[in-house]
A and B are shown apart, each in its own frame.
Chain A
Amino acid sequence: MSSSLAVHLHRASRRFLSLFAYGVTDESFAANMVKFREGGWQPYHALAVNHIANLAWIASIILRGYGGKFIRAGSFGIDYALSAMFLCLLVFQLRGRVYVLTAIISGALAVVITLLIPGNAFVIIASLLGATIGFVIKRHAQNGRRSHA
């Protein structure tokens, strides 16, 4: 994720990057990638997203410590909040056929790999493989078009 973000942070200072890296999470990453692509999104905007998200997370943990017992686990469909959010973040990323194809391949790989090996390594393995296959297909399609032209 940090590698993908690096494309957009080319002129940032080392100090900035060290501060920035602390707040890179799945969620802030996805939100920032969308905003960077739309344009007009400055590195310090992204930095603010990272750290506000992080602070909100810490604050919620403290809140849960005090008030968590008043909310029954699983009430109001709260379990689905994360799934829905990731689903929407994925929709933001589907900007063409290559992206859809990559998503399907990576998703299918993730399911297969997670059945085979325990832990969270499947996310890394599946997404690296999925992106690579997507990339190869994209290059192949481009070459095909060029040779026909």
Chain B
Amino acid sequence: MLKTEYILLILGMGLVTYIPRWFPLFFLTQRKIPQWFVEWLDLIPAAILSALIFSDLFVTGDPHRLEILQLKSMVAIPIFLFALRTKSLGGTVIMGMVLFWLAGRFFGGGI
């Protein structure tokens, strides 16, 4: 039946995304982690976030193409400085939305 196939598909997808989250937690908390690995892991958050942000700001379209100067990346400069100064997550999100919205009204779609 179609319905059970769907449910199985969803459960399967859930499992596939669950295991990579669970596996490192489960095994790395059971043993002593070597110092070099701790230092390396310490750099991972900055690396992941940056990878997500850079691709979000400088790449558009499907298939992907490079677009350094676009509304998103231009707005990111003041927002980055705002985040540096205030260290406020909520404030940065609201400022980002407001600035992006205003910039969109003034400059239209592109710069």
**Contact surface of A with B, Cβ cutoff 8 Å:** 1-7, 9-12, 14, 17-18, 20-22, 24, 26, 29-31, 33, 76-94, 98-99, 102-111, 114-115, 118, 122-123, 126-128, 130-132, 134-135, 138-139
Question: From residue A47, how far is it (CB to closest CB) to chain B in Å?
Answer: 12
How far apart sit A20 and B104, CA to CA, in the bound complex (Å)? 40
- The SS class assigned to the A binding surface is helix
Question: From residue A39, how far is it (CB to closest CB) to chain B in Å?
Answer: 15
* Contacting pair B51 A126 (CB below 8 A): yes
* Contacting pair B97 A87 (CB below 8 A): no
How far apart sit A83 and B3, CA to CA, in the bound complex (Å)? 37
* Contacting pair B43 A79 (CB below 8 A): no
Task: Give the number of residues in B that approach A within 8 Å (Cβ atoms).
Answer: 59
Known: A106-B51, A130-B43. 15 other contacts (CB 8 A): A1-B44, A6-B28, A84-B96, A85-B96, A86-B52, A89-B49, A91-B92, A106-B47, A107-B51, A110-B52, A110-B54, A114-B64, A134-B47, A138-B43, A139-B36
CB-CB < 8 A to A130: which residues of B?
Answer: 43, 47, 50-51
Interface presence of B106 (CB below 8 A): no
CB-CB < 8 A to B26: which residues of A?
Answer: 14, 17-18, 21
Given that A77-B104, A115-B59 are contacting pairs, would A91 and B43 also be in contact in the complex, using a CB cutoff of 8 Å? no
Question: From residue B30, how far is it (CB to closest CB) to chain A in Å?
Answer: 8
How far apart sit A108 and B53, CA to CA, in the bound complex (Å)? 10
Pick the contact of B28: A3, A29, A128, A132 (CB < 8 A): A3
Per-position binary interface string of chain B over residues 51-68, scored 1 when its CB falls under 8 Å from any chain A CB and 0 otherwise: 111111111000111100
How far apart sit A83 and B55, CA to CA, in the bound complex (Å)? 11
Per-position binary interface string of chain B over residues 78-111, scored 1 when its CB falls under 8 Å from any chain A CB and 0 otherwise: 0110011001110011011111111010000000
Pick the contact of B25: A6, A99, A108, A110 (CB < 8 A): A6
CB-CB < 8 A to B93: which residues of A?
Answer: 81, 84-85, 88
Per-position binary interface string of chain B over residues 27-48, scored 1 when its CB falls under 8 Å from any chain A CB and 0 otherwise: 0110001001011111111111
Given that A30-B45, A84-B79, A92-B87 are contacting pairs, would A123 and B63 also be in contact in the complex, using a CB cutoff of 8 Å? no
Question: From residue A41, how far is it (CB to closest CB) to chain B in Å?
Answer: 15
Pick the contact of B65: A80, A107, A108, A115 (CB < 8 A): A115
* Contacting pair B80 A134 (CB below 8 A): no
* Contacting pair B89 A85 (CB below 8 A): yes
